[in-house]
A and B are shown apart, each in its own frame.
Chain A
Amino acid sequence: MSERRPVLAVIGAGPAGLAAALAAAARGVRVMLVDSAAEAGGQFYRQPARGLGARRPEALHHRWRTWERLRAGLDAHLGAGRVTHLTDHHVWCVERDSDRLVVHSLLGPQQTESVAVRADAVLLATGAYEKVLPFPGWTLPGVVTAGGAQALLKGGLALSGGTAVVAGTGPLLLPVATGLAAAGARVVALVESAGPKSLARSARAWAAAPAKLAEGAELAARLALRRVPVMARQVVLEAHGVDRLESVTVAALDGAGRPAPGSRRQLSCDTLAVGHGLLPHTDLADGLGCRLDGPGVWVDAEQRTDVPGVWAAGETTGVGGATLSLAEGHIAGRSAAARLTGRVPDPDGWAPAARARDRLRTFFTALDAAYAAQPVRWAEQVTDETVVCRCEEVPAGAVRDAVGALGAGDLRTVKLLTRAGMGWCQGRMCEPGVAGVAGCALIPARRLLARPVPLGVLADPAEPPAAP
Protein backbone atom coordinates (compact mmCIF):
# COMPACT_ATOMS: atom_id res chain seq x y z
CA MET A 1 0.00 0.00 0.00
CA SER A 2 1.25 3.45 -0.82
CA GLU A 3 1.32 6.24 1.72
CA ARG A 4 -0.32 8.80 -0.51
CA ARG A 5 -3.46 10.61 0.51
CA PRO A 6 -6.53 9.38 -1.34
CA VAL A 7 -7.85 11.81 -3.95
CA LEU A 8 -11.48 12.87 -4.16
CA ALA A 9 -12.54 14.74 -7.29
CA VAL A 10 -15.42 17.10 -6.45
CA ILE A 11 -17.12 18.25 -9.64
CA GLY A 12 -18.89 21.57 -9.16
CA ALA A 13 -17.90 24.42 -6.83
CA GLY A 14 -21.38 25.60 -5.85
CA PRO A 15 -22.74 25.35 -2.30
CA ALA A 16 -22.82 21.52 -2.43
CA GLY A 17 -19.35 21.05 -3.91
CA LEU A 18 -17.76 23.63 -1.61
CA ALA A 19 -19.30 22.13 1.53
CA ALA A 20 -18.15 18.69 0.37
CA ALA A 21 -14.63 19.85 -0.46
CA LEU A 22 -14.20 21.51 2.94
CA ALA A 23 -15.56 18.51 4.84
CA ALA A 24 -13.37 16.03 2.96
CA ALA A 25 -10.19 18.12 3.00
CA ALA A 26 -10.46 18.51 6.76
CA ARG A 27 -10.52 14.72 7.13
CA GLY A 28 -7.36 13.53 5.45
CA VAL A 29 -8.37 13.51 1.79
CA ARG A 30 -6.80 15.43 -1.11
CA VAL A 31 -9.52 17.22 -3.04
CA MET A 32 -9.51 18.16 -6.71
CA LEU A 33 -12.28 20.73 -7.02
CA VAL A 34 -13.17 20.87 -10.71
CA ASP A 35 -15.52 23.55 -12.05
CA SER A 36 -16.30 25.11 -15.40
CA ALA A 37 -16.55 28.62 -13.95
CA ALA A 38 -13.66 31.01 -13.40
CA GLU A 39 -14.57 31.46 -9.72
CA ALA A 40 -16.03 29.30 -6.98
CA GLY A 41 -19.62 29.89 -5.88
CA GLY A 42 -21.91 28.08 -8.31
CA GLN A 43 -25.26 29.64 -9.17
CA PHE A 44 -26.27 30.83 -5.73
CA TYR A 45 -22.97 32.48 -4.81
CA ARG A 46 -22.15 33.75 -8.28
CA GLN A 47 -20.04 36.89 -7.86
CA PRO A 48 -19.32 39.88 -10.04
CA ALA A 49 -16.16 39.09 -12.04
CA ARG A 50 -13.04 40.33 -10.27
CA GLY A 51 -12.25 42.96 -12.88
CA LEU A 52 -15.54 44.65 -12.01
CA GLY A 53 -14.19 45.61 -8.60
CA ALA A 54 -17.43 45.23 -6.66
CA ARG A 55 -16.97 46.60 -3.15
CA ARG A 56 -20.40 45.55 -1.97
CA PRO A 57 -21.14 42.29 -3.84
CA GLU A 58 -23.42 41.21 -1.00
CA ALA A 59 -26.03 43.70 -2.27
CA LEU A 60 -27.08 41.04 -4.80
CA HIS A 61 -27.03 38.13 -2.36
CA HIS A 62 -28.58 36.42 0.62
CA ARG A 63 -26.72 34.68 3.41
CA TRP A 64 -23.44 36.38 2.59
CA ARG A 65 -21.91 35.31 5.92
CA THR A 66 -22.18 31.68 4.87
CA TRP A 67 -20.35 32.50 1.67
CA GLU A 68 -17.59 34.28 3.61
CA ARG A 69 -17.14 31.19 5.78
CA LEU A 70 -16.99 28.90 2.73
CA ARG A 71 -14.55 31.19 0.96
CA ALA A 72 -12.27 31.44 4.01
CA GLY A 73 -12.35 27.66 4.44
CA LEU A 74 -11.51 27.11 0.80
CA ASP A 75 -8.64 29.61 0.93
CA ALA A 76 -7.19 27.88 3.99
CA HIS A 77 -7.29 24.45 2.33
CA LEU A 78 -5.90 25.86 -0.93
CA GLY A 79 -3.05 27.45 1.01
CA ALA A 80 -2.28 24.21 2.80
CA GLY A 81 -2.33 22.28 -0.48
CA ARG A 82 -5.18 20.02 0.61
CA VAL A 83 -7.47 21.33 -2.15
CA THR A 84 -6.60 22.06 -5.77
CA HIS A 85 -9.17 24.19 -7.58
CA LEU A 86 -9.25 23.56 -11.32
CA THR A 87 -11.22 26.48 -12.78
CA ASP A 88 -12.46 26.76 -16.38
CA HIS A 89 -12.56 22.95 -16.56
CA HIS A 90 -15.71 21.68 -18.28
CA VAL A 91 -15.98 18.03 -17.34
CA TRP A 92 -17.29 16.04 -20.30
CA CYS A 93 -16.96 12.53 -18.94
CA VAL A 94 -15.87 10.51 -15.93
CA GLU A 95 -14.44 7.14 -16.82
CA ARG A 96 -13.59 4.09 -14.73
CA ASP A 97 -9.96 3.02 -15.00
CA SER A 98 -9.38 -0.26 -13.15
CA ASP A 99 -9.91 0.67 -9.48
CA ARG A 100 -9.72 4.44 -9.97
CA LEU A 101 -11.63 7.05 -11.96
CA VAL A 102 -10.51 9.48 -14.63
CA VAL A 103 -12.15 12.90 -14.93
CA HIS A 104 -11.92 14.37 -18.45
CA SER A 105 -12.35 18.15 -18.90
CA LEU A 106 -12.34 20.57 -21.81
CA LEU A 107 -10.45 23.74 -21.03
CA GLY A 108 -11.75 27.30 -21.05
CA PRO A 109 -14.41 28.82 -23.22
CA GLN A 110 -12.73 27.55 -26.39
CA GLN A 111 -13.20 23.91 -25.32
CA THR A 112 -10.91 22.34 -27.86
CA GLU A 113 -8.27 21.00 -25.50
CA SER A 114 -8.96 18.20 -23.04
CA VAL A 115 -7.11 17.32 -19.84
CA ALA A 116 -7.57 14.38 -17.52
CA VAL A 117 -7.07 13.88 -13.78
CA ARG A 118 -7.19 10.63 -11.84
CA ALA A 119 -9.07 10.22 -8.56
CA ASP A 120 -9.97 7.47 -6.12
CA ALA A 121 -13.57 8.64 -5.93
CA VAL A 122 -15.76 11.38 -7.39
CA LEU A 123 -18.45 13.53 -5.92
CA LEU A 124 -20.93 14.99 -8.39
CA ALA A 125 -22.17 18.45 -7.37
CA THR A 126 -23.08 19.86 -10.76
CA GLY A 127 -26.30 21.60 -9.74
CA ALA A 128 -29.22 22.31 -12.02
CA TYR A 129 -30.37 24.37 -14.97
CA GLU A 130 -33.60 26.08 -15.76
CA LYS A 131 -36.68 24.48 -17.22
CA VAL A 132 -38.70 26.69 -19.58
CA LEU A 133 -41.94 25.53 -21.12
CA PRO A 134 -42.50 26.86 -24.66
CA PHE A 135 -45.05 29.54 -25.60
CA PRO A 136 -45.46 31.61 -28.75
CA GLY A 137 -42.63 34.13 -28.92
CA TRP A 138 -40.29 32.46 -26.41
CA THR A 139 -37.43 32.44 -28.94
CA LEU A 140 -37.46 36.25 -29.36
CA PRO A 141 -34.27 37.99 -28.28
CA GLY A 142 -34.97 39.71 -24.97
CA VAL A 143 -36.61 36.59 -23.57
CA VAL A 144 -34.17 34.93 -21.16
CA THR A 145 -34.43 32.34 -18.45
CA ALA A 146 -35.00 33.80 -14.99
CA GLY A 147 -31.78 32.24 -13.75
CA GLY A 148 -29.99 33.53 -16.85
CA ALA A 149 -31.09 37.09 -16.10
CA GLN A 150 -29.81 36.54 -12.55
CA ALA A 151 -26.50 35.12 -13.80
CA LEU A 152 -25.92 38.08 -16.17
CA LEU A 153 -26.68 40.44 -13.33
CA LYS A 154 -24.72 38.73 -10.53
CA GLY A 155 -21.72 37.82 -12.65
CA GLY A 156 -21.52 40.59 -15.25
CA LEU A 157 -23.52 43.40 -13.60
CA ALA A 158 -25.45 43.42 -16.86
CA LEU A 159 -29.01 44.59 -17.33
CA SER A 160 -30.62 44.88 -20.72
CA GLY A 161 -33.11 47.62 -21.37
CA GLY A 162 -35.13 48.94 -18.52
CA THR A 163 -38.50 47.22 -18.36
CA ALA A 164 -38.79 43.61 -17.32
CA VAL A 165 -41.47 41.05 -16.67
CA VAL A 166 -40.55 38.04 -14.52
CA ALA A 167 -42.81 35.07 -15.19
CA GLY A 168 -43.36 31.36 -14.85
CA THR A 169 -43.51 29.44 -11.62
CA GLY A 170 -41.40 28.50 -8.64
CA PRO A 171 -39.44 30.01 -5.78
CA LEU A 172 -36.56 31.25 -7.99
CA LEU A 173 -38.75 33.99 -9.49
CA LEU A 174 -38.78 35.95 -6.23
CA PRO A 175 -35.02 36.56 -5.89
CA VAL A 176 -34.79 37.22 -9.63
CA ALA A 177 -37.49 39.91 -9.50
CA THR A 178 -36.00 41.56 -6.41
CA GLY A 179 -32.50 41.41 -7.91
CA LEU A 180 -33.57 43.05 -11.18
CA ALA A 181 -35.56 45.70 -9.32
CA ALA A 182 -32.70 46.47 -6.92
CA ALA A 183 -30.33 46.86 -9.87
CA GLY A 184 -32.54 49.48 -11.45
CA ALA A 185 -34.84 47.63 -13.85
CA ARG A 186 -38.48 48.58 -13.82
CA VAL A 187 -40.09 45.22 -13.02
CA VAL A 188 -43.61 45.62 -14.38
CA ALA A 189 -44.90 42.40 -12.86
CA LEU A 190 -44.02 39.07 -11.36
CA VAL A 191 -46.40 36.68 -13.09
CA GLU A 192 -46.74 33.40 -11.15
CA SER A 193 -48.98 30.62 -12.40
CA ALA A 194 -49.50 29.07 -8.97
CA GLY A 195 -52.35 30.49 -6.93
CA PRO A 196 -52.04 32.21 -3.56
CA LYS A 197 -54.39 29.69 -1.97
CA SER A 198 -52.32 26.67 -2.90
CA LEU A 199 -49.28 28.36 -1.40
CA ALA A 200 -51.16 29.12 1.80
CA ARG A 201 -52.30 25.50 2.00
CA SER A 202 -48.71 24.45 2.37
CA ALA A 203 -48.43 26.45 5.61
CA ARG A 204 -47.58 23.28 7.52
CA ALA A 205 -44.59 22.75 5.28
CA TRP A 206 -43.53 26.38 5.58
CA ALA A 207 -43.64 25.99 9.36
CA ALA A 208 -41.13 23.14 9.08
CA ALA A 209 -38.59 25.52 7.63
CA PRO A 210 -38.84 28.83 9.43
CA ALA A 211 -35.65 30.23 7.93
CA LYS A 212 -37.03 29.63 4.46
CA LEU A 213 -40.30 31.29 5.43
CA ALA A 214 -38.43 34.35 6.67
CA GLU A 215 -36.48 34.51 3.43
CA GLY A 216 -39.66 34.28 1.36
CA ALA A 217 -41.33 36.94 3.48
CA GLU A 218 -38.29 39.20 3.21
CA LEU A 219 -38.21 38.88 -0.57
CA ALA A 220 -41.94 39.53 -0.78
CA ALA A 221 -41.51 42.63 1.37
CA ARG A 222 -38.73 43.91 -0.87
CA LEU A 223 -40.95 43.42 -3.90
CA ALA A 224 -43.72 45.39 -2.23
CA LEU A 225 -41.23 48.11 -1.35
CA ARG A 226 -40.29 48.44 -5.00
CA ARG A 227 -43.93 48.30 -6.00
CA VAL A 228 -43.60 45.17 -8.07
CA PRO A 229 -47.09 43.74 -8.46
CA VAL A 230 -47.27 39.97 -7.96
CA MET A 231 -49.87 38.54 -10.34
CA ALA A 232 -50.70 35.11 -8.91
CA ARG A 233 -52.53 32.48 -10.93
CA GLN A 234 -51.66 34.28 -14.16
CA VAL A 235 -49.43 33.32 -17.08
CA VAL A 236 -47.60 34.88 -20.00
CA LEU A 237 -49.49 33.48 -23.00
CA GLU A 238 -47.38 35.04 -25.71
CA ALA A 239 -44.35 37.24 -26.26
CA HIS A 240 -44.58 39.80 -29.06
CA GLY A 241 -42.02 41.56 -31.21
CA VAL A 242 -40.37 41.36 -34.61
CA ASP A 243 -36.67 41.07 -34.02
CA ARG A 244 -36.79 41.57 -30.29
CA LEU A 245 -39.26 41.50 -27.44
CA GLU A 246 -41.66 44.41 -27.23
CA SER A 247 -44.51 43.17 -25.06
CA VAL A 248 -46.18 40.13 -23.57
CA THR A 249 -49.79 39.02 -23.28
CA VAL A 250 -50.74 37.96 -19.78
CA ALA A 251 -53.94 36.20 -18.78
CA ALA A 252 -55.54 34.95 -15.59
CA LEU A 253 -56.19 31.22 -15.32
CA ASP A 254 -59.58 29.71 -14.57
CA GLY A 255 -60.08 26.74 -12.27
CA ALA A 256 -59.32 24.30 -15.10
CA GLY A 257 -56.01 26.00 -15.86
CA ARG A 258 -57.15 27.73 -19.05
CA PRO A 259 -56.96 31.48 -19.77
CA ALA A 260 -60.11 33.05 -18.36
CA PRO A 261 -62.19 34.83 -21.03
CA GLY A 262 -61.71 38.58 -21.00
CA SER A 263 -58.67 38.46 -18.74
CA ARG A 264 -55.98 39.03 -21.38
CA ARG A 265 -53.92 42.14 -21.26
CA GLN A 266 -50.74 43.32 -22.84
CA LEU A 267 -47.73 44.56 -20.87
CA SER A 268 -44.91 46.47 -22.60
CA CYS A 269 -41.44 45.23 -21.72
CA ASP A 270 -38.03 44.73 -23.30
CA THR A 271 -36.97 41.82 -21.09
CA LEU A 272 -38.89 38.72 -20.09
CA ALA A 273 -37.17 36.58 -17.48
CA VAL A 274 -39.04 33.30 -17.49
CA GLY A 275 -38.67 29.94 -15.76
CA HIS A 276 -40.76 26.97 -14.70
CA GLY A 277 -38.48 25.38 -12.15
CA LEU A 278 -35.09 23.69 -12.36
CA LEU A 279 -33.86 20.35 -13.67
CA PRO A 280 -30.86 18.53 -12.17
CA HIS A 281 -27.69 18.11 -14.23
CA THR A 282 -27.33 14.33 -14.40
CA ASP A 283 -25.19 13.72 -17.49
CA LEU A 284 -21.98 12.77 -15.67
CA ALA A 285 -24.00 10.36 -13.54
CA ASP A 286 -25.59 8.98 -16.72
CA GLY A 287 -22.18 8.31 -18.21
CA LEU A 288 -21.16 6.45 -15.06
CA GLY A 289 -24.35 4.39 -15.11
CA CYS A 290 -25.78 5.80 -11.86
CA ARG A 291 -29.42 5.10 -11.13
CA LEU A 292 -31.74 8.10 -11.30
CA ASP A 293 -34.61 8.79 -8.92
CA GLY A 294 -37.13 10.88 -10.84
CA PRO A 295 -35.19 13.70 -12.50
CA GLY A 296 -32.23 13.57 -10.09
CA VAL A 297 -29.46 11.14 -9.17
CA TRP A 298 -30.49 8.51 -6.60
CA VAL A 299 -28.46 8.61 -3.37
CA ASP A 300 -28.52 6.77 -0.04
CA ALA A 301 -28.40 8.35 3.43
CA GLU A 302 -24.66 8.94 3.02
CA GLN A 303 -25.16 10.62 -0.39
CA ARG A 304 -23.65 7.62 -2.21
CA THR A 305 -24.97 6.76 -5.65
CA ASP A 306 -25.45 3.09 -6.57
CA VAL A 307 -22.09 3.13 -8.39
CA PRO A 308 -19.17 2.37 -6.05
CA GLY A 309 -16.85 5.32 -5.53
CA VAL A 310 -19.37 7.88 -6.76
CA TRP A 311 -21.14 10.32 -4.42
CA ALA A 312 -23.65 13.04 -5.39
CA ALA A 313 -24.89 16.12 -3.53
CA GLY A 314 -26.89 19.27 -4.07
CA GLU A 315 -29.32 19.87 -6.88
CA THR A 316 -27.81 17.05 -8.94
CA THR A 317 -29.86 14.80 -6.66
CA GLY A 318 -33.03 16.92 -6.74
CA VAL A 319 -33.82 20.62 -6.64
CA GLY A 320 -34.10 22.19 -3.20
CA GLY A 321 -32.03 25.33 -2.85
CA ALA A 322 -28.67 26.35 -1.47
CA THR A 323 -29.11 25.42 2.22
CA LEU A 324 -30.12 21.88 1.34
CA SER A 325 -27.17 21.70 -1.07
CA LEU A 326 -24.82 22.74 1.73
CA ALA A 327 -26.16 20.04 4.06
CA GLU A 328 -25.92 17.32 1.42
CA GLY A 329 -22.44 18.39 0.41
CA HIS A 330 -21.25 18.29 4.00
CA ILE A 331 -22.57 14.76 4.50
CA ALA A 332 -21.18 13.54 1.18
CA GLY A 333 -17.74 14.99 1.90
CA ARG A 334 -17.57 13.36 5.33
CA SER A 335 -18.81 10.02 4.08
CA ALA A 336 -16.35 9.99 1.17
CA ALA A 337 -13.44 11.00 3.40
CA ALA A 338 -14.21 8.26 5.90
CA ARG A 339 -14.52 5.56 3.27
CA LEU A 340 -11.45 6.70 1.36
CA THR A 341 -9.30 6.67 4.50
CA GLY A 342 -10.56 3.26 5.59
CA ARG A 343 -12.70 4.45 8.50
CA VAL A 344 -16.31 3.57 9.19
CA PRO A 345 -18.47 6.63 8.49
CA ASP A 346 -20.11 7.95 11.64
CA PRO A 347 -23.56 9.37 10.90
CA ASP A 348 -23.75 10.74 14.46
CA GLY A 349 -20.99 13.14 13.47
CA TRP A 350 -23.16 14.72 10.79
CA ALA A 351 -26.52 14.41 12.55
CA PRO A 352 -27.31 18.17 12.45
CA ALA A 353 -26.71 18.24 8.69
CA ALA A 354 -28.83 15.11 8.24
CA ARG A 355 -31.67 16.69 10.21
CA ALA A 356 -31.45 19.86 8.10
CA ARG A 357 -31.44 17.75 4.96
CA ASP A 358 -34.51 15.75 5.94
CA ARG A 359 -36.43 18.82 7.04
CA LEU A 360 -35.61 20.76 3.86
CA ARG A 361 -36.41 17.78 1.58
CA THR A 362 -39.82 17.52 3.23
CA PHE A 363 -40.27 21.25 2.85
CA PHE A 364 -39.36 21.34 -0.84
CA THR A 365 -41.51 18.31 -1.65
CA ALA A 366 -44.47 20.12 -0.10
CA LEU A 367 -43.54 23.36 -1.83
CA ASP A 368 -43.36 21.62 -5.21
CA ALA A 369 -46.77 20.13 -4.58
CA ALA A 370 -48.13 23.55 -3.68
CA TYR A 371 -46.77 25.13 -6.84
CA ALA A 372 -48.18 22.27 -8.92
CA ALA A 373 -51.46 22.02 -7.01
CA GLN A 374 -53.63 23.67 -9.66
CA PRO A 375 -53.46 22.68 -13.31
CA VAL A 376 -52.00 24.94 -15.99
CA ARG A 377 -52.94 23.73 -19.44
CA TRP A 378 -49.99 25.41 -21.07
CA ALA A 379 -49.56 22.88 -23.88
CA GLU A 380 -52.96 23.85 -25.33
CA GLN A 381 -51.72 27.43 -25.74
CA VAL A 382 -48.70 26.37 -27.81
CA THR A 383 -49.68 27.05 -31.44
CA ASP A 384 -48.56 24.64 -34.18
CA GLU A 385 -46.13 27.26 -35.50
CA THR A 386 -44.40 27.73 -32.15
CA VAL A 387 -40.85 26.40 -32.17
CA VAL A 388 -40.53 23.88 -29.34
CA CYS A 389 -36.97 22.64 -29.95
CA ARG A 390 -34.90 25.80 -30.13
CA CYS A 391 -31.75 24.23 -31.63
CA GLU A 392 -33.36 22.23 -34.42
CA GLU A 393 -36.25 24.70 -34.86
CA VAL A 394 -38.91 22.00 -34.63
CA PRO A 395 -42.43 23.47 -34.47
CA ALA A 396 -45.11 22.10 -32.16
CA GLY A 397 -47.11 21.03 -35.22
CA ALA A 398 -44.37 18.57 -36.23
CA VAL A 399 -44.41 17.04 -32.75
CA ARG A 400 -48.21 16.75 -32.88
CA ASP A 401 -47.97 15.10 -36.33
CA ALA A 402 -45.43 12.61 -35.00
CA VAL A 403 -47.82 11.62 -32.24
CA GLY A 404 -51.02 11.80 -34.29
CA ALA A 405 -50.44 10.76 -37.90
CA LEU A 406 -47.24 8.82 -37.29
CA GLY A 407 -48.28 7.17 -34.04
CA ALA A 408 -45.23 7.95 -31.91
CA GLY A 409 -45.98 6.90 -28.34
CA ASP A 410 -42.89 8.03 -26.45
CA LEU A 411 -40.36 10.80 -26.32
CA ARG A 412 -37.63 8.79 -28.01
CA THR A 413 -39.75 8.08 -31.07
CA VAL A 414 -40.86 11.71 -31.26
CA LYS A 415 -37.21 12.68 -31.22
CA LEU A 416 -36.28 10.29 -34.01
CA LEU A 417 -39.19 11.43 -36.18
CA THR A 418 -38.81 15.18 -35.64
CA ARG A 419 -35.18 15.78 -34.59
CA ALA A 420 -36.49 17.57 -31.49
CA GLY A 421 -33.74 17.22 -28.90
CA MET A 422 -30.96 16.28 -31.31
CA GLY A 423 -29.34 19.70 -31.58
CA TRP A 424 -26.49 21.39 -29.76
CA CYS A 425 -28.10 21.40 -26.34
CA GLN A 426 -29.00 17.70 -26.62
CA GLY A 427 -32.58 18.27 -25.55
CA ARG A 428 -31.76 19.99 -22.28
CA MET A 429 -33.93 23.00 -23.12
CA CYS A 430 -36.74 21.31 -25.05
CA GLU A 431 -37.31 17.94 -23.38
CA PRO A 432 -40.09 19.01 -20.96
CA GLY A 433 -41.76 21.15 -23.63
CA VAL A 434 -41.72 18.44 -26.27
CA ALA A 435 -43.00 15.87 -23.78
CA GLY A 436 -45.85 18.19 -22.78
CA VAL A 437 -46.87 19.02 -26.34
CA ALA A 438 -46.62 15.35 -27.35
CA GLY A 439 -48.53 14.23 -24.27
CA CYS A 440 -45.76 11.72 -23.46
CA ALA A 441 -44.12 10.99 -20.13
CA LEU A 442 -40.94 12.96 -19.50
CA ILE A 443 -38.21 10.35 -19.20
CA PRO A 444 -34.85 12.01 -18.74
CA ALA A 445 -32.62 11.28 -21.72
CA ARG A 446 -29.40 9.47 -20.85
CA ARG A 447 -26.57 11.61 -22.15
CA LEU A 448 -23.22 9.92 -22.27
CA LEU A 449 -21.22 13.11 -22.70
CA ALA A 450 -21.84 16.20 -20.61
CA ARG A 451 -20.47 18.58 -23.25
CA PRO A 452 -20.16 18.52 -27.04
CA VAL A 453 -16.65 17.18 -27.57
CA PRO A 454 -14.43 17.84 -30.60
CA LEU A 455 -13.90 14.66 -32.62
CA GLY A 456 -10.12 14.93 -32.28
CA VAL A 457 -10.45 14.83 -28.48
CA LEU A 458 -12.80 11.85 -28.62
CA ALA A 459 -10.42 9.98 -30.91
CA ASP A 460 -7.45 10.68 -28.68
CA PRO A 461 -8.46 11.67 -25.14
CA ALA A 462 -5.81 13.05 -22.81
CA GLU A 463 -4.04 10.68 -20.43
CA PRO A 464 -3.94 11.67 -16.76
CA PRO A 465 -0.49 12.37 -15.36
CA ALA A 466 1.04 9.36 -13.59
CA ALA A 467 0.88 10.68 -10.02
CA PRO A 468 -0.81 11.19 -7.67
Chain B
Amino acid sequence: MNPLRLVRARPGVPFTVTFDDREIEALPGQTLAAALWSGGVTAWRTTRGAGRPRGVFCGIGVCFDCLVTVDGRPGLRACLVPAAPGAVVRSQSGSGHDE
Protein backbone atom coordinates (compact mmCIF):
# COMPACT_ATOMS: atom_id res chain seq x y z
CA MET B 1 0.00 0.00 0.00
CA ASN B 2 1.09 3.57 -0.57
CA PRO B 3 -0.72 6.81 0.33
CA LEU B 4 -1.88 7.40 -3.25
CA ARG B 5 -3.41 3.95 -3.51
CA LEU B 6 -4.97 4.22 -0.08
CA VAL B 7 -7.11 7.20 -1.13
CA ARG B 8 -7.37 5.99 -4.76
CA ALA B 9 -5.70 9.14 -6.02
CA ARG B 10 -5.72 10.04 -9.69
CA PRO B 11 -3.31 12.94 -9.57
CA GLY B 12 -2.83 15.41 -12.40
CA VAL B 13 0.26 15.13 -14.56
CA PRO B 14 3.43 14.90 -12.43
CA PHE B 15 6.13 17.48 -13.05
CA THR B 16 9.64 18.13 -11.86
CA VAL B 17 11.29 20.81 -9.80
CA THR B 18 15.05 21.04 -9.65
CA PHE B 19 16.49 20.66 -6.21
CA ASP B 20 20.20 21.52 -5.99
CA ASP B 21 20.60 20.56 -9.65
CA ARG B 22 18.79 17.26 -9.47
CA GLU B 23 15.26 16.60 -10.56
CA ILE B 24 12.59 15.81 -8.02
CA GLU B 25 9.17 14.67 -9.10
CA ALA B 26 6.18 16.49 -7.66
CA LEU B 27 2.43 15.97 -7.97
CA PRO B 28 0.03 18.86 -8.54
CA GLY B 29 -1.11 20.28 -5.23
CA GLN B 30 1.82 19.05 -3.15
CA THR B 31 3.83 21.51 -1.14
CA LEU B 32 7.59 21.55 -1.68
CA ALA B 33 8.00 19.83 1.67
CA ALA B 34 5.62 17.04 0.62
CA ALA B 35 7.38 16.61 -2.74
CA LEU B 36 10.86 16.55 -1.20
CA TRP B 37 9.73 14.29 1.65
CA SER B 38 8.14 11.77 -0.75
CA GLY B 39 11.27 11.98 -2.90
CA GLY B 40 13.32 10.80 0.07
CA VAL B 41 14.93 14.21 0.66
CA THR B 42 14.76 15.01 4.36
CA ALA B 43 17.19 17.96 4.67
CA TRP B 44 17.32 21.16 2.65
CA ARG B 45 18.90 23.73 4.85
CA THR B 46 21.88 24.12 7.18
CA THR B 47 21.70 26.19 10.32
CA ARG B 48 23.33 29.58 10.83
CA GLY B 49 25.39 28.56 13.86
CA ALA B 50 26.64 25.01 13.60
CA GLY B 51 25.75 24.39 9.96
CA ARG B 52 23.61 21.42 10.91
CA PRO B 53 21.12 19.95 8.41
CA ARG B 54 17.39 20.58 8.86
CA GLY B 55 14.22 19.87 6.95
CA VAL B 56 10.54 19.70 7.75
CA PHE B 57 9.65 19.51 11.45
CA CYS B 58 6.20 20.88 12.42
CA GLY B 59 4.71 20.51 8.94
CA ILE B 60 2.24 23.38 9.46
CA GLY B 61 4.19 26.63 9.23
CA VAL B 62 5.06 27.15 12.90
CA CYS B 63 8.69 26.08 13.42
CA PHE B 64 10.62 27.65 10.48
CA ASP B 65 12.92 24.63 10.25
CA CYS B 66 11.98 23.97 6.63
CA LEU B 67 13.32 27.22 5.13
CA VAL B 68 14.36 26.95 1.51
CA THR B 69 15.37 29.15 -1.43
CA VAL B 70 12.92 29.07 -4.35
CA ASP B 71 13.67 30.81 -7.65
CA GLY B 72 16.31 32.89 -5.90
CA ARG B 73 14.10 33.91 -2.97
CA PRO B 74 15.43 32.62 0.36
CA GLY B 75 13.59 32.06 3.60
CA LEU B 76 10.39 30.47 2.30
CA ARG B 77 8.74 27.74 4.35
CA ALA B 78 8.71 24.59 2.20
CA CYS B 79 5.71 23.23 4.12
CA LEU B 80 3.58 26.17 2.91
CA VAL B 81 4.85 26.73 -0.63
CA PRO B 82 3.16 24.71 -3.38
CA ALA B 83 5.56 23.00 -5.76
CA ALA B 84 5.38 24.66 -9.19
CA PRO B 85 6.57 23.07 -12.44
CA GLY B 86 10.15 24.05 -13.18
CA ALA B 87 10.75 25.77 -9.85
CA VAL B 88 14.42 26.07 -9.00
CA VAL B 89 14.79 24.99 -5.41
CA ARG B 90 18.06 25.34 -3.56
CA SER B 91 18.98 24.23 -0.13
CA GLN B 92 19.70 27.18 2.01
CA SER B 93 22.59 27.85 4.33
CA GLY B 94 22.57 30.25 7.23
CA SER B 95 19.94 32.94 6.93
CA GLY B 96 19.86 32.46 3.16
CA HIS B 97 21.27 35.93 2.61
CA ASP B 98 24.91 35.02 3.16
CA GLU B 99 25.86 33.88 -0.33
Least distance between A241 CB and chain B CB atoms (Å):
10
Find out whether the CB atom of A243 lies under 8 angstroms from the CB atom of B8.
no
**Chain B positions near chain A (C-beta within 8 angstroms):** 1-12, 27-31, 33-35, 37-38, 40, 42-43, 47-50, 52-65, 67, 73, 76-77, 79-82
Besides A110-B76, A245-B42, 16 other CB < 8 A contacts? A36-B61, A51-B28, A51-B30, A56-B7, A59-B7, A129-B58, A143-B57, A144-B58, A147-B60, A148-B58, A156-B29, A157-B4, A158-B34, A183-B3, A390-B65, A392-B49
A51 CA / B15 CA spacing, docked (Å) = 12
Q: Is the CB of A393 within 8 A of B57?
A: no
How many Å lie between the Cα of A151 and that of B78 in the bound state? Answer: 13
Task: List residues of A (31-48) whose CB comes within 8 Å of B's CBs.
Answer: 36, 38, 43, 48
Q: How many residues of A contact B (CB 8 A)?
A: 56
Q: Which of B49, B67, B80 contacts A393 (CB 8 A)?
A: B49
Given A139-B52, A425-B62, A428-B62: A156 and B31 within 8 A (CB)?
Answer: yes
Chain B's nearest CB lies how many Å from the CB of A462? Answer: 21
Asked whether A10 is an interface residue with its Cβ less than 8 Å from the other chain, the reply is no
Tell me, in angstroms, the Cα distance from A152 to B35 when the chains sit together: 9
Chain B residue numbers with a CB within 8 Å of A38 are 82
B9 touches A142 (CB 8 A): no
A150 to B34, CA, bound (A): 11
Cβ A145 vs Cβ B59 within 8 A: yes
The minimal Cβ–Cβ distance linking A120 to chain B, given in whole angstroms, is: 29
Report chain A residues within 8 Å CB of B10. 53, 55
A423 touches B57 (CB 8 A): no
Residues on A with C-beta less than 8 A from B54 are 139, 141, 390
Complex contact B38–A55 (CB within 8 A)? no
Residues of A near B27 (CB, < 8 A) are: 51-52, 157
Check A156 against B34 for contact (C-beta < 8 Å): yes
**B55 — which chain A residues lie within 8 A by C-beta?**
141-142
* Contact bitstring A297-319, B, C-beta under 8 A = 1, else 0: 00000000000000000000000
Chain B residue with the shortest CB-CB distance to A129: B62
Residues of chain B within 8 A of A390, CB atoms compared? 54, 57, 63, 65
